[in-house]
A and B are shown apart, each in its own frame.
Chain A
Amino acid sequence: MSAVLDHHDHAHDHDHHAPTGWRRWVYATNHKDIGTLYLLFAFTMLMVGGILAMGIRAELYQPGLQLVNPELFNQLTTMHGLIMVFGAIMPAFVGFANWMIPLQIGASDMAFARMNNFSFWLMIPAGLMLMLSFFMPGGAPAAGWTLYAPLTLQMGPSMDAGIFAMHILGASSIMGSINIIVTILNMRAPGMTLMKMPMFCWTWLITAYLLIAVMPVLAGAITMTLTDRHFGTSFFNPAGGGDPVMYQHIFWFFGHPEVYIMILPAFGIVSQIIPAFARKRLFGYASMVYATGSIAILSFVVWAHHMFTTGMPVTGQLFFMYSTMLIAIPTGVKVFNWIATMWKGSMTFETPMLFAVGFLFVFTMGGFTGLILSVAPIDIQLQDTYYVVAHFHYVLVAGSLYAMFAGYYYWCPKWTGVMYNETRGKIHFWWSLIAFNVTFFPMHFLGLAGMPRRYADYPMQFADFNAIASIGGFAFGLAQVYFFVFIVIPTMRGIGPKASASPWEGAEGLEWEVPSPAPFHTFETPPKLNANATKIVA
């Protein structure tokens, strides 16, 4: 590590004074500070979305309306979805990208530091606008996170606030993506060829292209909704000859790649962690890169599997069924590669590895239910039931969120300079794993039995599984409060054993070549790398 510090000569000292106080954060141009901001923002939104989820589960604890009216219930489900997708999962991965990509490729910072600041600070008004829409006349948007027309035309003024917020969040995502692409393509240290780059950078590079491709599509769809609402156009309004099914096509052309936007960086994080704790190189690195690319390309040609019940022609259904089933193949390749990485390794199970293995196990269950849902005749039965709710929480919570937890535990020593409390980390893992499955596993049964999603009240036969899911949901929510209060806050305050530059025995990569916590400025001059581009050679 001293090797790194030695790269700075004293002529550069004037760059080292870090801004202090509020200016450090509001004017932040440092990728690490912006990464921290993103992560804290995302966690705040995770808590807000979580509170909405608790409201949903409390109402569904037993049949009948006890706590909220059906209108508010629809607002809760809609805003839970929007806030979790656009406020929590996506910004959190951008936070990881900001922190780790420059460190992993040996760059001094992100390519466009001020745009980086702007793309973060755009999220604050957007997030506030989403949350405050609950207090607007008529309450928050209640048309579901998919915002299907023509129901959106019946919404109150909060729908416009929601659309505006999504425009801003989309702009922020696009700027973030441009930054990531330019950084990865232009700022790699000499010797860090693309095919030597860590998997996390690869998955983010591909994700960033997906974002740039589809966020404008979403912006188009919601702008057309806006003009339908206010300017007398009839893009989606059947009363004026518009086509509500066209909205769904446009939305899901964004929506399906969006699913992979939320999971590919998770694949990247897991691909960093499993080799580190198996003390063995990632199996099939090249095929991992190709599989990620294949998934990204296929994600553009499967969107209408969300629309099997709209009444497509049979050839359309067959095409989208086949293309969707194909995605199982590259995804399977990834799972096999991870297991082959573990095979004959020398494994230890610290919390990052626990979450990575937990991810692998539970995410794959979500993958299999996805395969089952891809079969159109089965999907006819399960579309818009709790089976779908179970499926996408298995891939989004047990997939994306678990990978982020794994990433937090893995990189926390680099971010804070101290180790988290291992016992507490293990408690957080088992608590989350059990509570997650108690919440979402029964939902498969509810869906098979025909309970529709987005229902404020349900027939009494569904009562028991709903009660179980609610109890699991509260436990899962509480686990995340425990995580923040007893694990994250102590590490942020620097409480815990001091971490060395490379605290994990098997971890490889340039981020472990700089001290812990990572200094404010790193790699100000390009480092010289070894043949594998994993170490700095003096």
Chain B
Amino acid sequence: MTQAGAILESAKQTPLALFCKASTAAAVLVSSASVSTAALAAVKDLPGGPGVNQLNLPEPITRIAAEQIWLHWFMMIICVVIFVAVFGVMFYSIWKHRKSVGHKAANFHESTAVEIAWTVIPFLIVIGMALPATKVLVASKDTTNADLTIKATGMQWKWGYEYIKGEGEGIGFVSTLDSTHRQMSNDGGPKKGQEIDNYLLKVDNPLVVPVNQKVRIITTANDVIHAFAVPAFGIKQDAIPGFVRDTWFRAEKTGDFYGQCQELCGKEHAYMPIHVKVVTAEQYSQWTDAKLKEAAAKADDPSKVWTQTDLVARGEKVYAANCAACHQANGKGAGPIKPLDGSAIVLDKDHLKQITVMLNGVNNGAMPAWKQLSDTDLAAVVTYTKNNWSNKTGQVVQPAEFVAARK
């Protein structure tokens, strides 16, 4: 019952679904008779994902997907008409020109006119097919002027997303199939009564994009070839290791849309789905803010108060990575490089003197500015220099002082 209903639902989405009506009815009959599927009858269409016994391409969410559907119907109708015409002739011949009805064989075996006609006419039909196809193809390849650029990296077997340009720049996360679904698959699939509409399509972190904006997806891969595909958007682009390729979409509706990896990538090929959440511009801004704050929160909190030991320990690493090349590990400098061991600025009780040097540099950049380092790293390295070698000042510089000094 639900199955039949679902099919009619999805059939309404396409104006020419009448073509498929007979086969749909047959499919429903056969499938309701099949034992295996009786238990699964409760599954419903997944909006933005596959429908139950869906017969055609999914409901289009982008202009390109809509044009693909139009092209597909255009091609289908021409092909079906030719097929019916050609095989109508064949079956008429089979019916009339049988030996058993007493038909005597004619003797003709060539006709230049006819043969030219059935070479030239198909050629014209093919040109007629190629013209609209060219138009859609050219439009679908234009990835310029994107509002938002996201890099999708295929990995065995998950997707990594990085927001490269546009609102939300800097966000990055990995999207993996829900582990309960993977386990369920190993256990023989959903059991009787389990209605899982998004079976194998549920991920931990969906890709979030704003509605009505041109989103450019850059694909690449870490290991083997994968393919990033979302049927409702009409996109599919191989993600190839060592290569950067791109595709784009402009979703015209909000909602959840699903796809799956479409290039054989090893044993878990079936288990790396794609879930794209299309949201309004406001929701998107909220999401990016929250996501960026979350990322910042994971980083060091500059208001944290550190102990001297912790800061010195961390400062030693920062020093080794950034300072030791010039000032030397022993802090004595070399040639024109000033020593830090015993330096008046370092030993000064006024922290601000050294903080200013760190943030702005001195001597026309001979000592460069280090403001690209985090407040915590800067506080750590300053504390380290104030308490290492012969500098035993006991002074502790907290990240908060750098926060204040930057203002």
Interfacial residues, chain A to chain B (CB-CB below 8 A): 61-66, 69-71, 74, 142-144, 148, 150-151, 154, 238-239, 241-245, 278-287, 309-311, 314, 317-318, 321-322, 325-326, 328-329, 332-333, 335-337, 339-349, 357, 360-361, 364-365, 368, 371-372, 375-378, 380-381, 383-385, 441-442, 445, 448-452, 454-465, 467-468, 471, 506
Q: Is B15 an interface residue (CB 8 A)?
A: no
Q: Is B196 an interface residue (CB 8 A)?
A: yes
Residues of A within 8 Å of B93, CB to CB, are 339, 342-345, 347
> Chain A: which residue is nearest B136 at the CB level?
A377
- Complex Cα–Cα for A238 and B137 (A): 29
Interface pair B123/A70, CB less than 8 Å apart:
no
Q: Which of B180-188, B303-311, B333-341, B356-364 contacts A (4 or more CB under 8 A)?
A: B180-188
Top 4 A-B residue pairs of the complex, sorted by shortest distance between their CB atoms: A64-B189, A238-B242, A311-B245, A464-B31
Interface pair B137/A314, CB less than 8 Å apart:
yes
Residues of A within 8 Å of B123, CB to CB, are 329
Residues of B within 8 Å of A340, CB to CB, are 114
> Chain A: which residue is nearest B221 at the CB level?
A238
Interface pair A375/B71, CB less than 8 Å apart:
yes
Residue interface mask B63-102, A partner, CB < 8 A = 1? 0110110011001100100110011011001100111100
Q: Is B372 an interface residue (CB 8 A)?
A: no
Residues of B within 8 Å of A239, CB to CB, are 241-242
Interface pair A368/B83, CB less than 8 Å apart:
yes
Interface pair B71/A311, CB less than 8 Å apart:
no
- Complex Cα–Cα for A70 and B271 (A): 10
Q: Is B262 an interface residue (CB 8 A)?
A: yes
Known: A65-B185, A378-B72. A285 touches B110 (CB 8 A): yes
Interface pair B40/A63, CB less than 8 Å apart:
yes
Interface pair B31/A467, CB less than 8 Å apart:
yes
> Chain B: which residue is nearest A242 at the CB level?
B242
- Complex Cα–Cα for A284 and B111 (A): 7
Interface pair A314/B141, CB less than 8 Å apart:
yes
Known: A329-B126, A452-B261. A342 touches B90 (CB 8 A): yes
Interface pair A463/B188, CB less than 8 Å apart:
no
Known: A280-B107, A364-B86. A468 touches B269 (CB 8 A): no
Residues of B within 8 Å of A310, CB to CB, are 238, 240, 245
Known: A63-B189, A244-B242. A459 touches B199 (CB 8 A): yes
Interface pair A460/B43, CB less than 8 Å apart:
yes
Q: Is B235 an interface residue (CB 8 A)?
A: yes
Which of A62, A150, A442, A459 has the largest count of B CB atoms less than 10 A from its CB?
A: A459
Interface pair A280/B267, CB less than 8 Å apart:
no
Interface pair A360/B90, CB less than 8 Å apart:
yes
From the candidates B34, B50, B68, B141, name the one contacting A468 in the complex (CB within 8 A).
B34
- Complex Cα–Cα for A171 and B137 (A): 41
Residues of A within 8 Å of B68, CB to CB, are 377-378, 380-381
> Chain B: which residue is nearest A322 at the CB level?
B130
From the candidates B51, B58, B79, B229, name the one contacting A368 in the complex (CB within 8 A).
B79
> Chain A: which residue is nearest B24 at the CB level?
A445
Residues of A within 8 Å of B40, CB to CB, are 62-63, 460, 463-464
Known: A329-B119, A371-B75. A461 touches B45 (CB 8 A): yes
Residues of A within 8 Å of B399, CB to CB, are none
Interface pair B109/A459, CB less than 8 Å apart:
no
- Complex Cα–Cα for A279 and B97 (A): 11
> Chain A: which residue is nearest B240 at the CB level?
A244
- Complex Cα–Cα for A428 and B199 (A): 39
- Complex Cα–Cα for A349 and B95 (A): 11
Residues of A within 8 Å of B188, CB to CB, are 64-66
Q: List 6 A-B contacts (CB under 8 A).
A: A281-B109, A309-B227, A311-B245, A345-B93, A348-B99, A464-B27
Residues of B within 8 Å of A506, CB to CB, are 105
Question: Which size class do B's interface residues fall under?
Answer: 35 or more
Known: A244-B240, A459-B200, A460-B199. A282 touches B46 (CB 8 A): no
Interface pair B87/A448, CB less than 8 Å apart:
no
Known: A339-B86, A381-B68, A460-B43. A243 touches B262 (CB 8 A): no
Interface pair A151/B264, CB less than 8 Å apart:
yes
- A468 CB to closest chain B CB (Å) equals 5
From the candidates A372, A450, A465, name the one contacting B259 in the complex (CB within 8 A).
A450
- B66 CB to closest chain A CB (Å) equals 11
- A82 CB to closest chain B CB (Å) equals 14
Interface pair A343/B97, CB less than 8 Å apart:
yes
Residues of B within 8 Å of A317, CB to CB, are 137, 141
Residues of B within 8 Å of A455, CB to CB, are 260, 269-270
From the candidates B46, B56, B83, name the one contacting A459 in the complex (CB within 8 A).
B46
Interface pair B71/A442, CB less than 8 Å apart:
no
From the candidates B53, B111, B136, name the one contacting A464 in the complex (CB within 8 A).
B53
From the candidates A63, A376, A461, name the one contacting B46 in the complex (CB within 8 A).
A461
Known: A325-B130, A449-B51, A460-B199. A372 touches B242 (CB 8 A): no
Known: A285-B109, A464-B3, A467-B31. A342 touches B119 (CB 8 A): no
> Chain B: which residue is nearest A142 at the CB level?
B267
Interface pair B109/A464, CB less than 8 Å apart:
no
- A278 CB to closest chain B CB (Å) equals 7
Residues of B within 8 Å of A281, CB to CB, are 107, 109
Interface pair A463/B223, CB less than 8 Å apart:
no
Residues of A within 8 Å of B110, CB to CB, are 283-287
Question: Can you name 5 extra interface pairs (CB under 8 A) apart from A65-B188, A442-B27?
Answer: A309-B236, A309-B262, A339-B90, A345-B106, A449-B58
Interface pair B118/A332, CB less than 8 Å apart:
yes
- Complex Cα–Cα for A415 and B47 (A): 59
Interface pair B201/A342, CB less than 8 Å apart:
no
Interface pair B36/A467, CB less than 8 Å apart:
yes
- Complex Cα–Cα for A287 and B118 (A): 11
- Complex Cα–Cα for A239 and B23 (A): 49
- B177 CB to closest chain A CB (Å) equals 11
- Complex Cα–Cα for A372 and B50 (A): 21
Interface pair A377/B37, CB less than 8 Å apart:
no
Residues of B within 8 Å of A335, CB to CB, are 86
Interface pair B56/A448, CB less than 8 Å apart:
yes
Known: A283-B109, A310-B240, A383-B236. A463 touches B262 (CB 8 A): no
